[in-house]
Structure 1
Amino acid sequence: MDTTSVGPSSDQRLWLRRFGGSTGQGAEVRLICFPHAGGAATFFQPVARALAPRVDVLAVQYPGRQDRRAETGVRDIPELADRITAVLAEPLPPRVPMAFFGHSMGAVTAYEVARRLHGARASSGGDLPFRLFASGRRAPSARRDESVNRDDGALIEEVSSLGGTEPVLLSDPELRAMVLPALRADYQAIESYRYSPAAGEPAPCPVTVLTGDSDPHTTLEEARAWSGHAPEGDCELQELPGGHFFLVDQATEVLDLLRSRLLPAPAVHAEAGRAAP
Structure 2
Amino acid sequence: MDVHKAITATDWLRVLRTDPAPRHYLVCFPPGGGSATAYRDLALECGSGVAVLAVQYPGRQDRLAESAVPDLHELAELIAGELLGQGPLSGLALFGHSMGATLAYETARRLEDGGQELTTLFVSGRPAPSFAETGRLHLASDEELITDLERLAADPAPIALLRTEPGLADLVLPAVRSDYRAVETYAHRHGLPLACDLAALVSTGDPTTTPQQADEWRAFTSGSFARATFPGGHFYVDEHVGAVADFVVRHLDDPARRNE
| Cα distance in structure 2, aligned partners of 1:136 and 1:225 | 13
Matches within 5 A, 1:103-114: 103-114=97-108
TM-score w.r.t. the length of structure 1 is: 0.83
Alignment correspondent of 2:124: 135
What one-letter code is carried by the residue in structure 2 that aligns with 1:57? V
What one-letter code is carried by the residue in structure 2 that aligns with 1:29? H
| Cα distance in structure 2, aligned partners of 1:186 and 1:169 | 20
Matches within 5 A, 1:48-127: 48-91=43-86, 95-121=89-115, 127=116
| Cα distance in structure 1, aligned partners of 2:67 and 2:103 | 18
Are 1:147 and 2:136 an aligned pair? yes
Between 160-169 and 246-255, the greater mean CA deviation after superposition: 160-169
Deviation at residue 23 of structure 1 after TM alignment: 4.2
Question: Which one of 206, 220, 230 corresponds to residue 211 of structure 2?
Answer: 220
| Cα distance in structure 1, aligned partners of 2:162 and 2:195 | 38
Deviation at residue 144 of structure 1 after TM alignment: 2.9
Moved over 4 A (4+): none
TM-score w.r.t. the length of structure 2 is: 0.88
Contact 1:114–1:204 (8 Å) recurs in 2: no
Deviation at residue 239 of structure 1 after TM alignment: 1.4
Contact 1:51–1:259 (8 Å) recurs in 2: yes
Matches within 5 A, 1:191-210: 191-197=184-190, 200-210=191-201
Deviation at residue 17 of structure 1 after TM alignment: 0.6
Gaps spanning 5+ residues in structure 1: where?
A: 1-5, 122-126, 266-277
Q: Matched residue pairs, number?
A: 247
Alignment correspondent of 1:271: none
Matches within 5 A, 1:3-42: 7-8=7-8, 13-19=10-16, 22-42=17-37
| Cα distance in structure 2, aligned partners of 1:203 and 1:159 | 32
Deviation at residue 120 of structure 1 after TM alignment: 2.0
**What is the DSSP-based 3-state SS (H/G/I as helix, E as strand, rest coil) of the residue aligned with 1:138?**
coil
Relative to structure 1, is the Cα distance of residues 170 and 129 closer, same or farther in structure 2, using a 3 angstrom cutoff?
A: farther
Contact 1:81–1:110 (8 Å) recurs in 2: yes
**What is the DSSP-based 3-state SS (H/G/I as helix, E as strand, rest coil) of the residue aligned with 1:32?**
strand
Are 1:167 and 2:162 an aligned pair? no
Relative to structure 1, is the Cα distance of residues 29 and 7 closer, same or farther in structure 2, using a 3 angstrom cutoff?
A: closer
Measured against aligned partners, the alpha-carbon deviations of 1:175-219 in whole angstroms (never above 9, x if no partner) come to 11101111011110011001111xx43222111100011111112
Measured against aligned partners, the alpha-carbon deviations of 1:78-127 in whole angstroms (never above 9, x if no partner) come to 0000000100112369x441100000000000000111111222xxxxx2
What one-letter code is carried by the residue in structure 2 that aligns with 1:196? R
